[in-house]
Chain A
Amino acid sequence: MKALKSLLFAIFIFSAAQLHAQRGVVNMSLQYNYALPLGSFKTDVISKGSPRGFTGDILYGVSDKFSVGLGLGFQDFYEKYPRALYNTGDKEVTSAVLSNSVQIIPLLAKAEFSPLGSAAPVQPYITAGAGLGVSSFTQYLGEFGGTDNAGGLMLQGGAGIKVPFGKYSKAGFRLGANYNMVSYHHDGFSNFNNLSFQGGIYFPLK
């Protein structure tokens, strides 16, 4: 948390010097996501990676190197565990196939910093985001279970590269990775933290 605050502050200070560069460009990016559960999310809920995810960002260019805006997305995690015995009560034992399903919808305020600006043929970037992570957690023993929906703090840090389609193109490809901290405090679970790898395109809206 402290590191993220420092990162955001550094981005803000650095970008302040760039404010007189290009302004007013609104870029949209659409990305496919593959996400890997981390920590207790991986050990206690879902161990498998999720190939079902998308993100979309709309960022306003404060300068040629610094943009701020909103990020939305969706990631669907699912795993079915083989039949096993579970202690479901004081003296109660249940044999069941356990299915866990988690959907995460991030609604984030985001900032992006590209130190080489938009003219470079390959543009590395770092991003930071903070906002709401809406989580839906469904758990079934056999066909019996239920769903819990919750919203909690979500923090995101990421890095990657942007490659314009051409020398003078304002649109291009985008590859990167995000570390997502998604809080979820319910029934002994604490988070749905994950690492997502993403690839997509970006293009100006105006």
Chain B
Amino acid sequence: MLNNKLTSAALLACVVTLFSCTKEPLNNLTQEESRIYVTNADTTINFSAFKTYSISDSVVVLDNGQSYKDLQPSDQSYIDAVNKYMQERGYTKVTRSANPDIGIDVNRIYNTSTGYYSYDDYWDYYGGYWDPYYWGYGGYGYYVPTFFGIYQVTEGAMSVDMLDLKNASEKGKIEVIWNGLIRGEGIFNASIAEGSVKALFDQSTYLHSN
């Protein structure tokens, strides 16, 4: 018969082994696997009705409730990648003063404080940092369809927004027609910008001008 000490040791070993052998999901992800690519679109929109676009030449950094414009190498890589894939889909880049059909903003979002940053808040502040005057529609407000998702951004994200400038005068507002969001490890690295933007376009097959 085994003595009590041996039994206790066996039980202890069992308990220790039991809790040490759990496979932790986050420890089994590569940086690439940690990233998610989220798109929202107004599917009532016929994207082939738009032919031209203009993209901002810098990004807005939204950092714990404060915003400012910036252009780091990674930001430029994101802007370049959006240009590349918009043109691959048949859209023509024009200057902001040439009445583009689509306006594109790129945003870098941080939140290092407690709590979370919701996408609702993001849009609440939107007009504050992308002034409608920027797109030549002073006095207009932005409109985000209610079906757009609400994200909890807890560490950082890159966001790309497409705005309907073609119909802004008729509708009396600048409507957001597409949004792409990139989250996860390493997203502020210039080397992953193109692949990330490609992922957003790959899952948005309806984005084409013809």
Chain A positions near chain B (C-beta within 8 angstroms):
28, 30, 52, 54, 56, 74, 76, 78, 80, 83, 85, 88-97, 99-101, 103, 138, 140-145, 170-171, 203-206
Contact = CB atoms under 8 A, between A and B. Distances in A.
Given A78-B25, A83-B33, A90-B147, A56 B7 contact: no
A28 B7 contact: yes
Interface string B1-12: 110100100110
B40 A143 contact: no
A90 B146 CA distance: 10
A56 B7 CA distance: 12
A145 B46 CA distance: 33
Given A141-B36, A142-B183, A99 B10 contact: no
B34 A52 contact: no
Contacts, number: 106
B interface: dominant SS: mixed
Ranked 9 nearest A-B pairs via Cβ: A99-B25, A142-B36, A78-B23, A143-B34, A89-B149, A95-B37, A97-B33, A92-B149, A90-B147
A143 B18 contact: no
Given A95-B203, A144-B183, A88 B149 contact: yes
Interface in B6-30: 7, 10-11, 14, 17-19, 21-26, 28-29
B38 interface: yes
B114 interface: no
Contacts of A83: 33
Nearest to B39: A93
Given A52-B23, A74-B18, 11 more contacts: A28-B7, A93-B38, A97-B29, A141-B36, A142-B35, A143-B26, A143-B34, A144-B36, A205-B2, A205-B4, A205-B7
